[in-house]
Amino acid sequence: MEWRGARLPRRCWTHQEELPNIGTMERIPEPLGHLAKRYGVRDLYVFGSRAAEIAARVRGRSTSSSVGGGTSSDVDVAVEPLPQHTLSARDRVRLADELERTIVAAGPGTVAAFVAEPIVGATLAAAAPPDDYWPLIAEVCRRHGVLLVADEVMTGFGRTGRWFGIDHWGGRPDLLVAAKGATSGYWPFGFVAASGAVHDAVAGEGASGFIHGFTFSHHAVGAAVAAEVLRILEAEDLLAASETKGDRLRAMLGERLGEHPNVGEIRGRGLMVGLELVAERETHETFPRAAKVTEAVVRAAKSNGVLVYSGTGLADGTDGDSILLGPPFVVTDPELDRIVEVLGDAIDAVATEVGLGASASGLG
């Protein structure tokens, strides 16, 4: 696998003539500006950390205090747990109806925004909704004047095989929160993109303005790193690579683990792939949290040279184990083979160990 990590920071630092203005609201780096035009974005509110809170403050017009870049917001955020496995048609209609009932019950003008990951990452191990889920949610939000905020911190910049996860359903959120993939992790970087309507309401003529600022926001080097990563993504067609290699990875996992009694589901888009680990495949009965199944799988895979991401509590906040895979877009076919082989062996070994342990301890 080609390693680009060493050369990216050096390139950013050596092009010092690009640094003074790049990343400010007056000059958006060209690759990011190209994306902004594609999505009809009027402005990028911040380069830096705490992007999700910025989105909340943009919509909620909250007051906050700031010390050294830290803030505390008075915007309340409610979290609604979702099913840990793929939603049925009935589920998604029910959830859209539930959202509408919640908005109506709260009263006019009290719900500012609906915030969600287009494809749920670490919390639900790459759980992607069916095709009509997001259109239903967007319709409810538009009907009640509630802004739609897409949390693309994990799903953005090619991870799911599209520039943004919401692109799988043709959605256009009012606010989009992004980080991580924008600089491929080489530099701390995050931002909030706003639609023209939101921008005009907050910062347009006659608006009250939007006061914000953090110690490391609008950082020139961070913007330069982001510009170079975006250039590489486009020049090497890495979004297509993510989609193609992700399809292959899921197919290989299906062949190796698709009928495994302790794998409830293999899911995801692009190179964001999740596996749900269960005690009983047909019923999706979970392992008890005390068994620490996902941690054991992580250790077993790591001992054989493969790093995977663990997840717990996806069923009810306590029980429910999962594994999330996020290989680099330049992963090779032999490396995909190795990931599947090592992960499959790890799940086999741990399932046997936990089964015997559960029986002996009275957990099974």
Q: What is the pLDDT of residues 49-106, one digit of tens each?
A: 455 555 555 555 433 333 233 334 444 444 444 444 556 667 768 888 999 999 999 9
pTM score above 0.75 = yes
State the pLDDT at residue 277.
96
Question: In this predicted model, what pLDDT tens digit does every residue of 245-261 receive, in sequence order?
Answer: 999 999 999 999 999 99
The CATH number fitting domain 7-235, selected from 3.40.640.10, 3.40.50.720, 3.60.21.10, 3.60.150.10: 3.40.640.10
CATH domain 238-361 topology: Aspartate Aminotransferase, domain 1 (3.90.1150)
The full 3-state SS of the chain, as one line of letters, equals CCCCCCHHHHHHHHCHHHCCCCCCCCCCCHHHHHHHHHCCEEEECCCCCCHHHHHHHHHHCCCEEEECCEEEECCCCCCCCCCCCCCCHHHHHHHHHHHHHHHHHHCCCCCCEEEECCCECCCCCCECCCCCHHHHHHHHHHHCCCEEEEECCCCCCCCCCCCCHHHHHCCCCCEEEEEHHHCCCCCCCEEEEEEHHHHHHHHCCCCCCCCCCCCCCCCHHHHHHHHHHHHHHHHCCHHHHHHHHHHHHHHHHHHHHCCCCCEEEEEEECCEEEEEECCECCCCECCCHHHCHHHHHHHHHHHCCCCCEEEECCCCCCCCEEEEECCCCCCCHHHHHHHHHHHHHHHHHHHHHHHHHHHHHCCC
Beta carbons of 202 and 58 less than 8 angstroms apart: yes
Residues of the chain below pLDDT 70:
1-89, 92, 355-364
Length of the chain counted residue by residue: 364
Burial class (CB in 10 A: 0-12, 13-18, 19+), 28: buried
Q: Could you give the residue range(s) of every CATH 3.90.1150.10 domain in the chain?
A: 238-361
Burial class, 209, CB count within 10 angstroms (exposed 0-12 / middle 13-18 / buried 19+): exposed
pLDDT recorded at residue 76: 47
Amino acid at 289: R
Distance CA 115, CA 169 (A): 16
Whole-angstrom distance, CA of residue 205 vs CA of residue 220: 28
Q: Is 191 in contact with 50 (CB distance < 8 Å)?
A: no
Residues of the chain with CATH 3.40.640.10: 7-235
For residue 344, the model assigns a pLDDT of: 97
